[in-house]
């Protein structure tokens, strides 16, 4: 979550992200892909650029925390006014999706 009109990752979120990265690396040593999506509310200043900057900031932390085993797709999204109203603070966030891979290529049927 971000403060309105800010792309600075709050320290609490940095800690949460670090703990999540440790957990993901332990539980899922193989990563297929990761998507990082920055979001902004339509009433924020330069909303599209802000969403992209938020996503880039979080990507930097994921790389710093060692989540670099898979391709990382980064995108940005500006919520509609209705979405922002429904999502509240979620409209000013970054979402990360990590798709873990199968150990020993189990998906190949071996």
At 38-76, the pLDDT tens digits run 999 999 999 999 999 999 999 999 999 999 888 999 999
pTM, 2 dp: 0.88
Q: Does the pLDDT of residue 106 top 80, yes or no?
A: no
pLDDT band at 110 (very low <50, low <70, confident <90, very high): very low
Which range among 14-18, 28-32, 44-48 shows the weakest confidence by mean pLDDT? 28-32
Q: Distance between CA 71 and CA 48 in Å, rounded?
A: 23
**90 vs 75, which has greater pLDDT?**
75
Mean pLDDT of the chain: 91
Residue 98: pLDDT over 90: yes
* Pairing relationship of beta strands 72-78 and 94-100 according to DSSP bridges: unpaired
Q: Which domains does the chain possess?
A: 11-103 (3.30.1330.60)
């Amino acid at each position: 979550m971000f403060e309105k009109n800010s792309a600075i990752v709050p320290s609490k979120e940095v800690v949460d992200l670090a703990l999540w990265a440790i957990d993901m690396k332990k539980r899922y040593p193989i990563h297929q892909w990761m998507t990082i999506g920055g979001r902004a509310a339509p009433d924020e200043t330069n909303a599209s650029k802000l969403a992209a900057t938020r996503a880039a900031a979080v990507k930097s932390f994921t790389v710093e925390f060692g989540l670099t085993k898979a391709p990382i797709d980064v995108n940005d999204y500006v919520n509609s006014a209705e979405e922002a109203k429904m999502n509240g603070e979620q409209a000013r966030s970054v979402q990360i999706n990590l798709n873990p891979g199968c150990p020993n290529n189990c998906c190949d049927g071996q």
